[in-house]
């Protein structure tokens, strides 16, 4: 909206500042953060009133978690509301990648919202059918990837780019769409699995968003992409503004999610934010780098897969409890120790991911 205002105002006016991606990224961050911080208490009160008993707590989980009973969930609504308002206000509405990313985010958020709704109303950990949920996620992600393939430069369509290697591209052909959809769905569910402790998921998400905001900006700039010898993908720079909005909304949410949490993110937020990260990585042709930057999320979801497979095949468990953050709790780590140490891991992985831009 503000970008359109600068277009209508002519060329020699102070409003030209709204054409700069860096300025609008900062504006998006502060707008989303202020929105969530300002409306957060009202949203929490409303959700607490509507949900009554709040999110059900696992009886077989760490005993310290039983004190969290009554805490409302669906806090992702706060994040999505702040981020969407900020995105619509600060991004260029002509940019296709923004709309595709927004569609995936809201689509995954709607799936997560329905899952949270069933859990709260039934006071059960089981939402709706896992297979049907995955089917919906793949349908949304597949449609988004088809559009991304259409909007991508012809030379990069259906191509998988490899980090570190300058000109390494693998033409996946028709298989690129299901592969890219898998990246988006995997990212959504990996963040969803990580969301199990106060503040554990939202900070690594913000770290990953900051990293991919930088990547999207550099990849979408013909000068910087040429200097760094990465594939130039026109118009992806606008996704930096989207990342700024999510970081701002995340900071606002963290104010209320910091231990002891006043509200949980729920599937509403974790699925949506994971889907957003996956979409940006696919659009910027940095799918493999997402596995590095989001390595913490990969570790979390792999711990669950390993635990399930090990128990089914051998009858034994590899971890004391899955996901892996509960394993460390069972080993005696306090919740703040687990959370902060995992934040440190997320920062290190983000730095490694950024380093791949220069290692060519």
Q: Given a cut of 60, is residue 10 above it in pLDDT?
A: no
Tokens encoding 75:
């806090």
Would you place residue 205 in the very low, low, confident or very high pLDDT band (cuts 50, 70, 90)? very high
Distances (CA, A) of 248 to 34, 113, 210, 245, 317: 8, 21, 11, 5, 39
Q: Write down the mean pLDDT value for the chain.
A: 90
Quote the distance between the C-alpha of residue 176 and its chain's center: 21
The span from the CA of 180 to the CA of 182, in Å, is 5
The span from the CA of 345 to the CA of 303, in Å, is 16
The span from the CA of 45 to the CA of 262, in Å, is 10
**Residue 66: per-residue pLDDT:** 56
Would you place residue 358 in the very low, low, confident or very high pLDDT band (cuts 50, 70, 90)? confident
First to last CA, the chain: 38
Q: What is the pLDDT of residues 225-235, one digit of tens each?
A: 999 989 999 99
Q: Given a cut of 70, is residue 239 above it in pLDDT?
A: yes
Phi/psi at 286 (nearest 5 deg)? -130, 45
Distances (CA, A) of 346 to 152, 265, 290, 293, 339: 29, 19, 12, 7, 11
Residues in CB range of 236: below 8 A, 6 or more apart: 97, 216, 219, 220, 283, 284
Q: Given a cut of 80, is residue 267 above it in pLDDT?
A: yes
Q: What is the pLDDT of residues 113-161, one digit of tens each?
A: 999 988 888 766 666 777 899 999 999 999 999 999 999 988 899 999 9
**Residue 260: per-residue pLDDT:** 85
Tokens encoding 261:
């949490």
Q: What is the pLDDT of residues 287-325, one digit of tens each?
A: 999 999 999 999 999 999 999 999 998 988 999 888 999
| Selected residue with higher pLDDT from 48 and 54 | 48
| Selected residue with higher pLDDT from 4 and 243 | 243
Tokens encoding 252:
């606002």
Alpha helices in 258-294 (DSSP H): 266-283, 287-293
| Selected residue with higher pLDDT from 129 and 179 | 179
Phi/psi at 161 (nearest 5 deg)? -90, 145
Would you place residue 215 in the very low, low, confident or very high pLDDT band (cuts 50, 70, 90)? very high
The residue assigned the tokens 């995954």 is 108
Would you place residue 67 in the very low, low, confident or very high pLDDT band (cuts 50, 70, 90)? low
């Amino acid at each position: 909206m503000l970008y359109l205002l600068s277009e209508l105002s002519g060329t020699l006016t102070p409003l030209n500042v709204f054409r700069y991606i860096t300025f609008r990224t900062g504006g998006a961050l502060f707008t989303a953060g202020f929105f969530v911080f300002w409306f957060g208490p009202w949203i929490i009160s409303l959700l607490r009133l509507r949900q009554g008993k709040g999110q059900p707590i696992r009886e077989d989980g760490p005993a310290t978690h039983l004190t969290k009973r009554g805490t409302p969930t669906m806090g992702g609504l706060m994040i999505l509301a702040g981020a969407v308002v900020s995105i619509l206000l600060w991004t260029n509405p002509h940019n296709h990648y923004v709309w595709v990313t927004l569609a995936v985010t809201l689509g995954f958020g709607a799936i997560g919202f329905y899952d949270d709704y069933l859990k709260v109303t039934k006071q059960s950990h089981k939402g709706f059918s896992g297979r049907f949920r995955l089917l919906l996620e793949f349908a949304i992600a597949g449609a988004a990837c088809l559009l991304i393939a259409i909007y991508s430069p012809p030379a990069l369509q259906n191509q998988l780019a490899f980090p570190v290697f300058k000109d390494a591209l693998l033409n996946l052909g028709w298989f690129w769409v299901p592969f890219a959809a898998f990246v988006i769905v995997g990212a959504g569910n990996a963040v969803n699995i990580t969301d199990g402790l106060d503040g554990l998921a939202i900070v690594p998400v913000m770290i990953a968003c900051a990293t991919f905001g930088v990547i999207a900006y550099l990849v979408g700039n013909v000068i910087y992409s040429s200097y760094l010898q990465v594939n130039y993908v026109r118009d992806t720079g606008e996704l930096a503004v989207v990342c700024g909005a999510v970081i701002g909304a995340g900071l606002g949410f963290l104010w209320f999610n910091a231990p002891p949490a006043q509200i949980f993110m729920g599937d509403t937020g974790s699925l949506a934010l994971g889907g957003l990260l996956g979409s940006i990585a696919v659009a910027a042709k940095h799918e493999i780098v997402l596995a590095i930057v989001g390595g913490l999320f990969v570790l979390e979801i792999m711990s669950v897969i390993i635990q399930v497979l090990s128990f089914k095949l051998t009858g034994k468990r590899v971890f004391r409890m899955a996901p892996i953050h509960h394993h460390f709790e069972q080993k005696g780590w306090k919740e703040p120790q687990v959370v902060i140490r995992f934040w440190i891991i997320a920062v290190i992985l983000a730095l490694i991911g950024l380093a791949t831009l220069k290692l060519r």
